[in-house]
Amino acid sequence: MNNKPLELGREEMKEIAEIEGIRQMWGAESAADMEAMLDKQVYAVKFHYQSGGPGYVGDYFILQGDAIGEALELFRDGDGQIKIIDYRGL
């Protein structure tokens, strides 16, 4: 298991930038705008994650804006899609 943060690849940035909810959170008008933000303004890392019990194994992403606050967590689901981890019913 690799527990060190990894830099997001260009394709992962594009995938994340396509998620409408994420664009809305950051106020991006388009996927291209969001991709530019991911490249320059948003702290974004990926981990190859494995939970301790029966659970999740796969990509785990953390996005943090340029203001201190709660980070956005994402994971790659069984269909290979990047999804927002929703702890608050959003």
Residue-wise pLDDT tens digits, 30-39: 999 999 999 9
pLDDT higher than 70, residue 83: yes
How is the chain split into domains, by residue range?
6-84
**pLDDT digit string, tens, across residues 2-57:** 578 888 899 999 999 999 999 999 999 999 999 999 999 999 999 988 777 667 77
End-to-end Cα distance, the chain? 30
For residues 23 and 35, the answer to whether their CB atoms sit within 8 Å is no
* CB-CB contact of 72 with 90 (8 Å): no
Backbone angles phi and psi of 61, in degrees to 5: -120, 145
Residue written as token pair 């927002």: 84
> What pTM, to 2 d.p., does this model score?
0.83
Token readout for 25 is 């959170």
CA pair distance 49, 21, nearest whole angstrom: 23
